Structure 1
Amino acid sequence: MKIAVAGTGYVGLVTGVCLAHKGHQVTCVDINEEKVAMMSRGESPIYEPGLPELMKESMESLCFTTDYRTAYRDAEVIFIGVGTPEKSDGSANLAYVYEAAKQIAQSVERDCVVVLKSTVPIGTNDKIESYIHDKQVNDVKIYVASNPEFLSQGTAVRDTLCASRIVIGVTEDHPAEILKKVYENFDAPKLVVARRSAEMIKYASNDFLALKISYINEVANLCETVGANIEEVTEGMGFDERIGKKFLRAGIGYGGSCFPKDTKALNWLANFNDNEIRTIRAAIEVNENQKFKLVKKAKKYYGDFLFLNVAVLGCTFKPGTDDLREAPSLVNVPLLMEDGAHVRVWDPVGEENFKKLFPKKIQYCSSIEEAISGADICLILTEWDEVKNFDIRKYETLMKKPIVLDGRNCYRLEDFENTKITYDSIGRKTINPELYIGK
């Protein structure tokens, strides 16, 4: 089928590339000429494992342009995959969605299905449909459908090609049949529901996962107090099929482009409609507090950070991506610097993006060894494989004071038992605390 995709961020670009890989003729639209030129050469503008290779494999069925009129004019299906960033009040900013809808309405010259892939508040599809019909220039039939994405950064290609489910939200049979045809080569359950249900499925799914993370982080904090081990607790919980094992890893909170934004958006929507989802509000509060967990732990070892050399391992919100959105590093590093610390940052792919936000006063390191050499304390914020596979003996030999605060539980406790390293993680006992607490 002839498909156009509005937007080439994570959602739009991954969707376009995967649809082209499945044999559709896809045109991706973006306003940035430099970005379009880059993608036309088969180069991905975002760091996403597997995406550059799939782009190059699919170039015969894939093209990129800033000319939205030509792209939309005779497309059978047009996906809207633009960003919906949060406003200051927590609600979703739909300006880019409406702009794409306006361009589509003024350009299409044949019957088509417009598909909202972007995460939007419940009822947005109805409004976009009315808006498109009000703005459309030509006498053609334009259907609007909801088709939320369920991809995770770092595994976005796999999550799209091997989706757990494909949700199709419609008010008529025709757009449902068209989308079934679009996805006929995708081996995944296809669920056809009402549009508003499709919109809610996206929010309810993401926010439930955020709830699990915040819940287990609170349990982990209590484990530290009462002497339980969070990993043993989650292992026992995970055998219960009603609970499952996923999203029960304790840490310093969730980040990224989805969970923080979507929890705030659903919380805002509930309040706007005179409802209250107290569990979502609590998850937001827990997550914000959890981000500061390591700095609070550090206060046990140092009253302040003045003139201390602090190593920070990982600045992205998760491994496998260069995305910094809502990453714990964005709140922890400024706090450390404000308190007078000399901060050294290491990250295998996120360094350049971090430099754009913090171009000065930070030492950027090309290796973990460089970051921890002579350090008074080390904070692990991202569980990169390089960190998990790191020879822990180097903390003892290279650091001035080998105090390792692990916000992602990268290591086994027993590995530190016979060392002179103080290892303080999340929801587990601290190894060798007596070496440096109060000294």
Structure 2
Amino acid sequence: MATEENRIIVGVDTHSDTHHVAIISDYGRPIADQEFLAVGSGYRGILEFIGGHGTVIAAGVEGTGSYGAELTKVLRGAGVQVLEVTRPNRQARRLKGKSDPLDAYQAAQSVLAERGLATPKVKDGPVECLRILRMSRSSAMKARTITINQIRGLLVSSPDELRSRYRGLNTSALIASLSRSRPHGHIADTSYVTSLTLKTLAVRYQSLSSEIDTVDASLKEILDSYAPLLCDLVGVGTEVASQLLVTVGDNPERVNNEAQFAALTGVAPIPASSGKTSRHRLSRGGDRDANSALHHIVLVRMVSDQRTKEYVAKRTIEGKGKREIMRCLKRYVAREIYRQISNPVPAPIITDLRPLRKQLGLTLQSVSEHLNQWPSIISRIERGQSRNDILAADYRRWLKNQLELGVDFSGPCFKEV
């Protein structure tokens, strides 16, 4: 059994080619440090090195998501508790200087003092696959945007015969027309070179679009098997769901409550009062991509979700501005997203609505008149293309009530059966 004297804490300063490992005792005394190559043999050497000095309490590793990602997996596989050490103290660095051994010892001291620590992401599950796919999708999206901007820029300065040929076309029609074109002429002819370049860019645009569609299909396949219920929420699609899961990581226990999730996504309320003004603003920290995803959900719900519309109307009457209302909504959405991630709840079943309506001989138009809704909204709810739990519940309740009353809508006029 290990004694108190050989309980140790490990600190690691990671780099692309080498890792510097430092060991201190559980009361802060420096014991040893050594540099290892960032390869398989180096990782095995690190395990032997720290194992030869005692029982490891914990290991503080810098850059667990980049240079230290593989080392983190190795240490966890060996049963070592790994903690991510954030940026070293700049004031201490100015006073004591900087070197790999000093940074490694600083990482170990941070673990001992429980200062500047975080639980690293696992980075070896479905969410890591989502992250990699999203990285590919992001670069393809940026390249496609650059491509269409180049096409439109070329058309602005191209000869009039080219401009007139493609004037007024939207993006999809423009790309299709350019990709089908057959430029001909001399290589020193400006019109020919412009047409040839436009065709090349259009083909590139189509290739990037195909790549994005392939990635989207892969993202959806992972979401359908890993978190199928997350996309049941109003306003949450493949893009938004994948981003929120990437933010949380494969080990959601990193986020212990919905307040921490709100801070992680940059929607934690912060007091911003002054004088007679009493208000809050949202934190500008956290993952900005996740914050953008929540913003997208709010925008969708303000247009299509009845609960959100009623809330916006209520807060507007109270004198709140649109931006402040959206801040409140983002906080509510973060709470709902966290609950769905930590305790998935399926969306209410809506497959019974259309059979009930047809059994009563009702048309979408007649239903919409009774529920005071557009027929297209009723149709989308029946097909599961949009979600409004309150309207769906009212719709089902009304249909069942008509069924119990024995009302027949199939004839030219309503009659009792």
Instruction: Give the TM-score of the pair, scaled to structure 2.
Output: 0.22
- The structure carrying a bigger helix percent of its residues is 2
Please say which structure displays the higher CA radius of gyration.
Answer: 2
TM-score by length of 1: 0.21
